[in-house]
């Protein structure tokens, strides 16, 4: 079985979906790493007897040094695939080059809409609300050197009436994120996704 590392900064509901539906089934979550000491994601990992590590950014001088420390952890756990599940840091080339085409991210909009610099968490759903779009959703994609620019693996839509507040939009999208991430990670772990230039195809 391939080994995963899940990087998370927040509550970890996407991590929980992977623990419940992928871990020890399609692959192994070898380690969970967070840049936030009190991230509930770390508690979810410990509850599942998965190694949980808080990596303190204040202990190192640069983002590159921080990612080098993360890379040492990934090598120590023989990680094959990295999953970013609500990880609120931008990866440096230290990680994106070492794990080229092996880093998966979930973004709570239909890329290329409402993504890129500044579009994370509730900022995404506020922008969706403000624009008044009637379809939003989630995207799972490979991570490259840009922000939310890597090849798309899967997307799933959520229809809106226009009556939802941003918080309700977030809840509706989060619900389909869990299923989308589980399906996407399963495809990658089973080597069923091929990257052709900037696109993905099913093998
Ligand atoms: C999700 O909305 C995800 O799309 C975004 O951050 C949020 C993480 O939620 N990247 P959780 O921590 O998995 O509950």
Task: Write out pLDDT tens, residues 115-144.
Answer: 999 999 999 999 999 999 999 999 999 999
Cα distances from 124 to residues 5, 15, 147, 176, in angstroms, run 25, 20, 14, 15
Task: Tell me how many degrees the CA angle 203-159-105 measures, rounded to the nearest 5.
Answer: 45
Instruction: Catalogue all structural domains in the chain, each as residue range(s) with its CATH number.
Output: 1-99 (3.40.50.170), 106-203 (3.40.50.170)
Count, residues in the chain: 203
| Residue 36: per-residue pLDDT | 98
Q: Does the pTM of the predicted model rise above 0.95? A: yes
Residue with tokens 């927040």: 10
Dist. CA 94 → ligand 1 center (Å): 23
Dist. CA 193 → ligand 1 center (Å): 23
| Residue 11: per-residue pLDDT | 97
Task: Measure the CA–CA gap between 141 and 133, rounded to whole angstroms.
Answer: 22
> Which ligand 1 atom is the nearest neighbour of the CA of 14?
13
């Amino acid at each position: 079985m391939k080994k995963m590392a899940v990087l998370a900064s927040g509550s970890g509901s996407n991590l929980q979906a992977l623990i419940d539906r992928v871990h020890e089934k399609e692959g192994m979550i070898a380690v969970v790493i967070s840049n936030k000491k009190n991230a509930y994601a770390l508690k979810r990992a410990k509850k599942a007897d998965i190694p949980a590590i808080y990596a303190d950014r204040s202990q190192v001088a640069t983002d590159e040094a921080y990612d080098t420390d993360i890379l040492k952890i990934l090598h120590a756990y023989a990680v094959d695939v990295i999953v970013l599940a609500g990880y609120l840091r931008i990866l440096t080339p230290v990680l994106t080059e070492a794990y080229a085409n092996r880093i998966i991210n979930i973004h709570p909009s239909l890329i290329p809409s409402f993504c890129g610099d500044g579009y994370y968490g509730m900022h995404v759903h506020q922008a969706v609300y403000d624009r008044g779009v009637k379809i939003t959703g989630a995207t799972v994609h490979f991570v490259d050197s840009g922000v939310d620019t890597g090849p798309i693996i899967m997307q799933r839509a959520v229809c809106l009436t226009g009556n939802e507040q941003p918080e309700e939009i977030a809840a509706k999208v989060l619900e389909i994120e869990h299923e989308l991430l589980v399906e996407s990670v399963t495809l990658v772990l089973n080597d069923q996704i091929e990257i052709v230039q900037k696109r993905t195809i099913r093998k």
